[in-house]
Amino acid sequence: MAWSVDARIPLVTVPDEATLAAALAAGRPAAVLAEAPPPAKPEAAVALVSFDVTGPQHVAGCTCCAGRSAAALALDRLFQARVRNACPWFERVVALADTEAARTEIAAALQDDALTAARFRAA
């Protein structure tokens, strides 16, 4: 018998705040990833990070964000907060992506960014 265990953190994308609230209420502890400017942190969320789809605000090619998308960097911050106990433990991420650009950037981070793909998976 073959066993398959995927220990990556599941990430589900939702299109609006009503769906976000329902998704947060319907499961295990969750963090929220949102496009900037983010909404207020929902009461049911343990953490909230945001990303700007216009890209990094630093000098082009700086060492802190060269080659990585804003969504990937936001997910890095979220993961680091989790493992460093800077936020309560969460078992999933709900991404509020109300624009096509945000949905595209999140999907690209999950597919194309090796570090993000090692930590998170589409649910």
Answer for the pair 48, 41: CB distance below 8 angstroms, yes or no.
yes
User: What is the pLDDT at residue 53?
Assistant: 87
Rg from Cα positions in the chain: 14
Q: How confident is the model at residue 11 (pLDDT cuts 50, 70, 90)?
A: very high
- The C-alpha atoms of residue 19 and residue 42 are separated, in whole angstroms, by 12
Report the SS3 class of residue 49: strand
pLDDT in tens, 51-104: 998 865 555 555 555 578 999 999 999 999 999 999 999 999 999 999 999 999
Distance CA 48, CA 24 (A): 12
Mean per-residue pLDDT for 28-36? 96
- Give the residue-averaged pLDDT of 93-121: 96
Residue 40: DSSP 8-state: P
pTM above 0.75, yes or no: yes
**Other Cβ atoms within 10 Å of 51 Cβ, number:** 26
Average pLDDT, the chain: 91
Mean pLDDT of 6-27: 96
Percentage of the chain lying above the pLDDT 90 cut = 81
**If DSSP codes are grouped into helix, strand and coil, which group holds residue 12?**
strand
